[in-house]
Structure 1
Amino acid sequence: MKILKTLVVFILLQVGVAASVSAAGQHYTQAQFDALNKSGKPVVIHVHADWCPTCRAQDPIVSALIKDPAFKNVSFLEVDFDAQKDVVKAFNVSQQSTLIVFKGGKEQGRSTGDTRKASIDSLINKAL
């Protein structure tokens, strides 16, 4: 019975982790980023850390914008600040809570530590 309870808790935790990743965008992979840029699609990179209070403040804003019909053609990719150090370095990011917007494979803008919906919305609009 104890094993069954442990298994149920494990499954619920995995579902919760999957839900939090999908709410904040897809997990970043270089292949996916390259394919999106090659196709000319707009991309928003969110360099994120689970322990970061600023990132946690950005999460509901980014999640709402992902669902906004105005951004239906924008792909949102999340980079794990702690686990993907090579990617963080490649994007020349020095701290978590950084948003980078790409259009046609070229960077259009970035912000770090911004938790205001209006300015994040404005930044993402640079991808359109």
Structure 2
Amino acid sequence: MKTISLAALVASPIAILLLSGCTNVGALAFRKPSSTEPPQQLTESVAAHRPQAKDIQVTEHTETFVSTPSARESYQPALVTLGRGEDLQAKVNEATGPVLLDFYADWCGPCKVQSRILHDLEQEAANRGTLIIKVNIDDHPEIARSLQVEGIPTLIMIRDGQIANRQSGVANKSELTEWMR
């Protein structure tokens, strides 16, 4: 009777784990009894109720989110906003292709229209290797002055370190696509 009760006691957690979806019973850890040698009945009972390898179907577990660095090239966004204190010249120098500067302000209505157009062009810019940098004139008035930005929105295309195109006012999608060629 003791053997049956002990077997039921040991088998119950295993059955619960199997029914709840834990199929890797071999990964279970059992606490050792306080004596150095486990009782023979307990060892036999656990061994008798442990599923055999042929009874367990082990599936390869893959994670959805990778937490280790990938060997692939890191993602470079095609549209970024220059933050306060960031260096525009450094961003332009780091770019591997042309750079489109968008001078704007949060309070400017036409700037919001231009922003939507630029967001629509983000994939096209990525495909063509163009980096779009949004520069808030309220956060960076010295940059706007140095590039003689007098009205907003103002767009400036920089290619090979030189200003290739410049426009004040809203530029349409087809015009900006042409600039990226």
TM-score between both structures, scaled by the size of structure 2: 0.49
Report the Cα offset of residue 30 of structure 1: 2.6
What runs of 5+ residues in structure 1 fail to find an aligned partner? 1-21
Report the Cα offset of residue 58 of structure 1: 0.7
What SS does the corresponding residue of 1:25 show, helix, strand or coil? strand
CA 106–54 in structure 1, closer or farther in 2 if over 3 Å, else same: same
Q: Which has the higher contact order (CA 8 A, sep 6+)?
A: 1
Name 1:25's counterpart in structure 2: 80
CA deviation map 1:85-115 (0-9, x unaligned): 1000111110120010011001101111124
Higher alpha-carbon Rg = 2
| Matched residues, number | 102
- Residue pair 1:65, 1:71 contacting (<8 A) in 2 also: no
Name 1:4's counterpart in structure 2: none
TM-score between both structures, scaled by the size of structure 1: 0.67
- Residue pair 1:100, 1:111 contacting (<8 A) in 2 also: yes
Name 1:44's counterpart in structure 2: 100
CA deviation map 1:60-105 (0-9, x unaligned): 1101111226644111111111121100011111012001001100
What runs of 5+ residues in structure 2 fail to find an aligned partner? 1-76
RMSD between aligned residues: 2.5
What SS does the corresponding residue of 1:68 show, helix, strand or coil? helix
